[in-house]
Structure 1
């Protein structure tokens, strides 16, 4: 019997987002269309398209474990600094599949995707998707874990991550890569990924605190930087 533990997107913000009204809304039709057709599930691990006004970025982590390859692991760790935009479509997905392994030699399939996006603008229309999906196909006793972490830094004025912050994020990325060699149960991998996500959030909060402020253009726009984290896990065991 497979036991599924699904963790819907949880959101952590550096500060209350009551001032963040129009930053989330409908994206332009062209941006949505590009995001829909550009990267089919499990294809290229990263897509980025930035025009003058609209940006589309997508990241994928995908694993498929089977009898021939019973232990699979993949992670992605992408940073997208979009600058000033009017609209943005940001898509982050992790998919892990275990198929056809025997109870005596079960599969272990782990996919983790970390996506960091910075954007600037008074009223950015944002369409954000963050999903983890685990599948056990005739795989009794298999461990299958998919985790997606999405971090969005929204600021009124353009800014770039500091050299120090990028070095810290690179170090976190290396720790994420090191999980490939771990033989721990997926529950432990889950906890370690959460701990690394907390480190990423701390780095981004420090960067946002130093980002330039700006006057609010309208009562519904924020003059303060806002950091949002989306987290979604799907786990079968």
Structure 2
């Protein structure tokens, strides 16, 4: 079978990016370290966070499932670029000897400032290449927390996020059908959103209202 790119408008796995209040787009990247002063509240000119999860299943290694769950606390910044990407590839398997490739990436970024210039990019891509009957699923979830004054997530919030991370690890390693896996990943993302909304409700107020923005992009093959 020739290389397949996922359909964008149909299918159980393929979902268009969802953004509330910010622009979400695709971007590749390799993990980038957070600036040393990111969590101190000391103003930074520009902050950058890039996270990526990649999985590849093929006729040598029929199943691969990977996930990441990162929390970046920037403090006060004048500008920020945040990128998150999940890529899943199935290569060279058959319907009788199929492959399964799963990549899930959760990125949480907190930043502060009254007029922060933000570029947020989020993308999930799943590709089957000569891979009849294979399952691929890529899911990218990006949470951008914006507050007027620096917000440090407290211990209770951190513990809750750690628990969600453990459950994401277990979900990624599971043998659930991809459609059910996607549903449960969405449920975990909704839980992260609730935890962060609770955190910003206690944040110091300013001229701008504290917000939590979720960018979500899922992609998969087969499309039905």
TM-score above 0.5: yes
Query: Following TM superposition, by how much is the alpha carbon of 1:178 offset from its aligned partner in structure 2, in angstroms?
Result: 0.4
Two-structure CA RMSD over aligned residues (Å): 1.8
Pairing 1:176–2:168 present: yes
* 1:37-186 map, 5 Å: 41=29, 44=30, 46-50=31-35, 52-186=44-178
Query: Following TM superposition, by how much is the alpha carbon of 1:181 offset from its aligned partner in structure 2, in angstroms?
Result: 3.0
Q: Distance in 1 between matches of 2:19 and 2:175?
A: 30
Q: 1:192 aligns with which of 164, 184, 188?
A: 184
Query: Following TM superposition, by how much is the alpha carbon of 1:11 offset from its aligned partner in structure 2, in angstroms?
Result: 2.5
Query: Following TM superposition, by how much is the alpha carbon of 1:53 offset from its aligned partner in structure 2, in angstroms?
Result: 1.5
Pairing 1:227–2:219 present: no
* 1:198-213 map, 5 Å: 198-213=190-205
- Is there any run of 5+ residues in structure 1 with no aligned partner, and where? 18-23, 26-35, 217-221
Partner of residue 11, structure 1: 19
- Is there any run of 5+ residues in structure 2 with no aligned partner, and where? 38-43
Q: Distance in 2 between matches of 1:201 and 1:187?
A: 21
User: Retained in 1: the 8 A contact 2:34–2:72?
Assistant: no
Q: Secondary structure at the match of 1:112?
A: strand
Query: Following TM superposition, by how much is the alpha carbon of 1:7 offset from its aligned partner in structure 2, in angstroms?
Result: 1.2
Q: Secondary structure at the match of 2:150?
A: coil
Q: Distance in 2 between matches of 1:174 and 1:163?
A: 16
Q: Give the length in aligned residue pairs.
A: 204
Q: Distance in 1 between matches of 2:49 and 2:33?
A: 4
TM-score computed with the length of structure 1 as normaliser? 0.81
Q: Secondary structure at the match of 2:152?
A: coil
Query: Following TM superposition, by how much is the alpha carbon of 1:49 offset from its aligned partner in structure 2, in angstroms?
Result: 3.8
Partner of residue 21, structure 1: none
